[in-house]
Structure 1
Amino acid sequence: MKTKPPLVHREFIVYSFLAALLGTILGSILGLITLPRIIFNAYTANFTFTKLQLNLHPWYIVLSFLLAFLSTVLSSWLASRKELKTDPAQLMLPKPPAGGSRILLEKINFIWHHLNFSYKVTARNLFRYKGRMLMTIVGVAGATALMITGFGIKDSLNTIVERQFGHISQYDIITAYNPDESTQNINRAKNVVRNSNNVKRFNGAYFENIYATRNNDYAREDISLTVSKNSQQLNHYIKLQDYQSHKALKLSNNGAIISQKLANLQNVTVGGKIKIHETDGTTHKIKIAGITTMYAGHYIYMNQAYYQKVFNQKYQANAYLVSLKKNSKEQVNNFAAKFNRQEAAVQTIQSQETKSTITNILSNLNNLILVLVLSASLLSLVVLYTLTNINISERVRELSTLKVLGFYPNEVLMYIYRETNILTGIGIVLGLGFGYAFHGYIMKLLPPATAMVAPGLSWSNPIISVILMIIFSLVVMMMMNQKIKNIDMLEALKSVD
């Protein structure tokens, strides 16, 4: 009984439709529920919210399903439609190989004549299945790029804490007091710092919270203004260094030093000017004498002379930058509590609290990175397994012939897998480049407005990514080796009859 073409179409379309539907459901759960929770927990680790409000966004789900439908159902329909135009008797026969043609490598006589038979066959087969070759390279390159991006995000974020609080910020606490308080109350607050046995060193400074706005934008950057008498005093507590040359910066009488992220948001360079606002609405324009590397927060640093020039008022210290001998969390908290009990005390800023806040956020982002790396791993396994499986299934007779001719099992395996290894290698090399570019793009979007990340990738990142891709390739090879061993040579060779 002859099966009508629509029924044949239905077999392929139903299978593809179910794959698209299940993929959309799983993807929607992951993208609209799981990932938002991970990101929410990371960015709100140090804030109190009642609950996360999740929206289903039906249009996004519909769009995703349509894309999945087009890439699976439409592809299956077009492929089956093409095959059903062929005579049924012809379909039952093995597909004849494409007409032979010389590949580019054959025209390079020096290389071609030095290749043994196995490598010549591999080279021909690579160009014989161009679509499969392209899909393998693109799939492996995409998986490698995602893996490098995931590990790269971890590298860039994890170095923030060490660079900011290990190299740049050398103080343990800032103690701010009200200079308008009575002299007696001010002296009591100062004496907490001056007379403490746990204080290693301290330096008087002027500290104020100010802000800046962007042109044609309602966004506002909260800034910490620190004024010191000179660079030498400030250098013991905050290391100011040029964001490009990394050379030490000194406070100038003709300009201020601002943090790099603030300069980027305000779109200014050295020699330019920005407008700053005090909390009472007073506005000042300051000239940029230098841009310093700073990974957390927005900062402006001035010396006494330039402060008096810009603000048109006499410099009067209202804070201490303090380094402690014993700077454990308990010791710093005790010192802060003692200072805050004074009448003149305004606030204390502990570097450890800021460090703890950032560390908490970063630890929660590790879940997001894990999802990214697992997705890349799954993608690589699916691509390699699917394409290698198709490759073996279509060449069962070819492999059976090799077995009959006396090829050893490892030779038969490498006959197929040598192609996969070459394509995987090409994909990995391309993925390294794509991963570096994609990581740079993501790191411009990921950090919040008050933070900056360390650029570049650590040397271990590409090494780990390449090793993982090789491991996944070997896992698939072992799985395929078992399938090749189970091929029934006689059945495969007589199946045409």
Structure 2
Amino acid sequence: MYGMKQSAVLVQKWSISLMTVLISVGVTLLATLSVCLQELVSTPSVLMRPKAPIAGKRIFMERIPFIWKRLNFNQKVTMRNLFRYKKRFWMSVIGIAGCTALIMLGFGVKSSVSNIIPSQYVEVYKYDALIKLNSNVEDTKKIENKIKRLDGVHNLTSAMRQNITVLGNSADYYSTMFVYDNADEIKNFINFKDYKTKKKIILNDEGVVISQKLAELLDVKKGENITFTLNNTKYSAKVADIVEHYVNHQVYMSKTFYENLTGMKSSASILYVDMNTKKSNIKALKNYLDHQNIGSMERLTATLDEFQQRMSSLNIIVAILSGCAALLCFIVLYNLTNINIGERKGEIATIKVLGFRRKEYCDYIFRENIILSLIGASIGMFFGYFLHRFVVLTVEMESMLFIRTMPLYIYLIAFGMTVGFTIIINLAMRHILDQVNMVESLKSIE
């Protein structure tokens, strides 16, 4: 869908790779340097002694008796430990939030691009076939009546289609103008909805109806004027409404408005056809058009199938982003959980000695991961919304409007996958807790 020169891609490839390596190495070195500077200010005698656990403090929740009194002992300890290790808290939350945002981005981009098809060719376009009339066709009404009598044809209407150039402040935009004869008939073939309210638009003779993307590029609103050129002549028209539309720039106007604006008579150049799309009906219509030398036919389903095949490559993008998000979540949680257990071996050994069962001491540690995962996933959904919107608006083409919202199921998928990764990590780390030696751990100097 994007025109890219091979030479430009090759030239940029090495520079982008080099920049990526430099940023990655730079961030790693910066993190290492900050930790070294923080640790090496201590005296050798302090560094040689085992690091004492961070002292516990009262937390804000304890000041809310209504909640705090209803928590059991293990839940209170978990809450205190969450805020006791603040660095680990923020590292976990940020890592998990990034995981959720990446999952949302992957599924959201696919949804935004692939949903153009049903939105445009099912919800907006209601016709089944479009007939382009040859320039030598004169009596369109006679042709319409003959086509209506063909098997499977339910209804049709005519319109004039012409290419125009809409003039903008910084650029001009190639557009297609449609002049319809009857407002009541054209509504049966094209669904005119307001781009904001999604309400039906009432077509009239007071101005033109333009597509949403064209209105955004021109920065015009309902009631303002647009200027376009037709046959090297400039015309100015009032924007009566802005319609929901996703592919190409469209300008619709009534026959009366067109003739009053230009002083020229409109003549039909296309026919919208509503029909039963059985192969026999399609073949009969094509044979009639070819035999009478009337014009050519475009089937909406053929355009729909072609576009869907082109969109199938988006599955690779979703797989890559989801895979990276899963790795990010696993690496962050695995490392932080491993460090958490390593720093708290004495604490874990103590609760084992006190008689905590396997489930209890596992929950003692892993309950923190679950809570951090829920917090991180919630924050990640917030940032995922803005990340998705930024990417969609950045890659959106001039002549195409992507879906800028995400359905609810993507939020649920991202949240569920993130929490699922956390549960898998917790299950995988249980054996490390089982291996904590109570005698050896309690020998450490506190």
Q: Same fold (TM over 0.5)?
A: yes
Shift of 1:308: 0.3
Q: How does 1:115-264 map to 2 (within 5 A)?
A: 115-179=71-135, 181=136, 193-194=147-148, 196-217=150-171, 220-264=172-216
Mapped contact 1:136–1:423 kept (Cα < 8 A): yes
SS in 2 for 1:301: strand
Mapped contact 2:100–2:384 kept (Cα < 8 A): yes
1:432 aligns with 2:381: yes
1:55 aligns with 2:7: no
Mapped contact 1:443–1:453 kept (Cα < 8 A): yes
SS in 2 for 1:309: helix
Q: Cα gap change, 1:176/1:58 in structure 2, threshold over 3 Å: closer, same or farther?
A: closer
2:166 maps to a residue whose letter is A
SS in 1 for 2:397: coil
Mapped contact 1:225–1:299 kept (Cα < 8 A): yes
TM-score of the superposition, structure 2-length normalised?
0.90
Mapped contact 2:57–2:80 kept (Cα < 8 A): no
Q: Cα gap change, 1:51/1:199 in structure 2, threshold over 3 Å: closer, same or farther?
A: farther
2:158 maps to a residue whose letter is G
1:297 aligns with 2:228: no
TM-score of the superposition, structure 1-length normalised?
0.81
Q: How does 1:84-95 map to 2 (within 5 A)?
A: 84-95=40-51
1:166 maps to a residue whose letter is V
1:478 maps to a residue whose letter is L
Q: Deviations over 1:313-344 (max 9, x none)?
A: 0122222111222255x854774475356555
Mapped contact 1:192–1:339 kept (Cα < 8 A): no
Q: Deviations over 1:340-368 (max 9, x none)?
A: 565553x5443233323432232222221
Q: Cα gap change, 1:469/1:447 in structure 2, threshold over 3 Å: closer, same or farther?
A: same
Q: Deviations over 1:118-156 (max 9, x none)?
A: 222222222221111011111111211221222223333
Mapped contact 1:176–1:207 kept (Cα < 8 A): no
Name the structure 2 match of 1:76.
32
Q: Deviations over 1:371-402 (max 9, x none)?
A: 22222222111111111111111111221222
Shift of 1:268: 1.2
Shift of 1:307: 0.9
Measure the CA separation in 2 of the matches of 1:117 and 1:85.
38
1:320 maps to a residue whose letter is L
Aligned mate of 1:288, from 239, 255, 260:
239
Q: Which moved more, 1:160-169 or 1:305-314?
A: 160-169
Mapped contact 1:340–1:348 kept (Cα < 8 A): no
Shift of 1:449: 2.1
Measure the CA separation in 2 of the matches of 1:205 and 1:239.
15
Identity within the alignment, %: 30
SS in 2 for 1:202: strand
Measure the CA separation in 1 of the matches of 2:417 and 2:425.
12
Mapped contact 1:223–1:299 kept (Cα < 8 A): yes
1:466 maps to a residue whose letter is F
Q: Deviations over 1:410-434 (max 9, x none)?
A: 1111111122121111111112222
Shift of 1:216: 1.8
* Structure 2: segments with no counterpart, 5+ residues: none
Q: Cα gap change, 1:92/1:398 in structure 2, threshold over 3 Å: closer, same or farther?
A: farther
Mapped contact 2:53–2:344 kept (Cα < 8 A): no
Name the structure 2 match of 1:21.
none
Name the structure 1 match of 2:434.
485
SS in 1 for 2:429: helix
1:314 maps to a residue whose letter is K
Shift of 1:187: 9.1
Shift of 1:476: 0.4
Shift of 1:109: 3.8
1:339 aligns with 2:289: yes
SS in 1 for 2:196: coil
1:302 maps to a residue whose letter is M
State the Cα RMSD in Å: 2.9
2:214 maps to a residue whose letter is L
Name the structure 1 match of 2:358.
409
